[in-house]
Amino acid sequence: MQRLQTDDSVASGRGDDLPPCDVTIVAHDIGPVGGMELVLAELITGLTRLGHHVTVIARVCELPPNDKLIFHRVRGPRRPFFVAYLWFMLAGSIAVSRWRRGVVQTTGAIVLNKVDCIAVHYCHKIGRSTPSRQTLAFRANALISHVLKRFVERASFDANRKAIFVCVSQGVADEMREHYPQLAERLVTIHNGVDTNKFRSGANGADAARMRVRLGIPQDRLVAVFVGSEWERKGLGPALHAVARATGWDLVVAGAGDEDHYQALADELGVGESVHWLGVVRDVQVVYELGNVFLLPSRYETFSLVTFEAAASGLPILATPLSGISELVRDGENGFLITQEPGLIARRLDELGHDSALRAKLGERARQAALQFSWGAMVAKHHQLYRRFAESSSLEASQIKGKRSP
């Protein structure tokens, strides 16, 4: 295949006049819950609207029927992770060999095939997944999975040096340049998007009011919202310590994790009744509507879709300056960049708690910043990238045919 330039034309998303093509998307899971899963769902839906014929190879694909969408299910275990990961790598590779059509993009290093694009949602040379529970079995699974993913990532990236690596934020692209310098010329950044119609202040006020009553949160209490799983990595511990030091705040937690462990910590800190557990929430926009501030003192992020959703919902952001977040949050303008130090977080909570006008101003500016990141822009940039692959492949086929002609 001809070499593709990773220039500004891809980053700009220009290319609306380009015709659609066949695209194959390979992933573990696709659907409305989960950051990576939702991004893929929006990408596939947008591509079919543009006329692309999309083949999906995955374990799960929760998308409505579409005459331009073909789904090939890869059946297999989902737990423990390292077993499921290896199973999908083998079974998914066979499926890709059998059913691939047109431009092939994988979601990370998950199959053995040579492909055209690899979407980098996570750089395993930097980030490390944390166990959802603190038992020996869960910790062992997390350690084995981390070592496995690092090894497979390097092997896959080395084998696909001619592929384009689609980084979900500029921060991820910077990590790739640092740890995989041989791929520097093959990188392109295409930011994830956010549904700014779904996530907006006032759209779910009645539902949020009912949720407040159901959770037993008094009307005079302020609410900090924490959304996400992998609670150790995302900083739920520092968040609890901060709420314990601040005045007048409840904490609402949406996501999956070791609730018993963190409830015990909240009880120990004296804020057990001020912490509310929602589990995995499909209509997470209602959770943002309930909140007065979004809190995420995470150790590692690559884009942090939940932070963009919270910003689009008009919440002031309190988050660590990591990939994606640092491209959205301007300290003191639409939120505050924090560390994992509970005292600093508590001071920011108290500052926002005593100044409703400041909360409103930061929240409004947070939404304005989020408006720059749309699903439409993300889809348009992928559309152009895939079309350039298709054109390059057609040109190469023509050249080969010409050489064979007498």
pLDDT digits (tens, 9 = 90+) for 192-214: 999 999 999 887 889 999 999 99
> Is the overall model pTM greater than 0.75, yes or no?
yes
34-43, 48-57, 275-284, 385-394: range with lowest mean pLDDT:
385-394
Rounded alpha-carbon distances, angstroms, from residue 169 to 150, 189, 322, 325, 326: 20, 6, 10, 9, 10
Phi, psi dihedrals of residue 301, rounded to the nearest 5° = -140, 160
Residue 7 has pLDDT above 80, yes or no: no
Q: Check whether residue 54 and residue 93 sit in a common domain.
A: yes
Amino acid, single-letter form, for residue 173: A
Are 50 and 379 in contact, with CB atoms under 8 Å apart?
A: yes
Give me the pLDDT at residue 14, please: 47
- The CATH code of the domain that includes 337 is 3.40.50.2000
Does the CA dihedral 218-223-226-232 come out positive or negative? negative
Cβ-Cβ contacts under 8 Å for 166 (sequence gap 6 or more):
105, 117, 118, 119, 120, 188, 189, 190, 382, 385
Q: Check whether residue 44 and residue 188 sit in a common domain.
A: yes
Residue 225 lies in a domain: yes
Residue 391 lies in a domain: yes
Give tens-digit pLDDT for 236-292.
Answer: 999 999 999 999 999 999 999 999 999 999 999 999 999 999 999 989 999 999 999
CA atoms within 13 A on the CB side of 142: 16
The residue that leads in pLDDT, 26 or 155, is 26
Q: What's the number of domains the chain is made of?
A: 2
The residue that leads in pLDDT, 39 or 396, is 39
Give me the pLDDT at residue 124, please: 76
Give me the pLDDT at residue 150, please: 84
Residue 199 lies in a domain: no
Q: Check whether residue 286 and residue 348 sit in a common domain.
A: yes
Give me the pLDDT at residue 391, please: 80
Mean pLDDT of the 331-355 span: 97
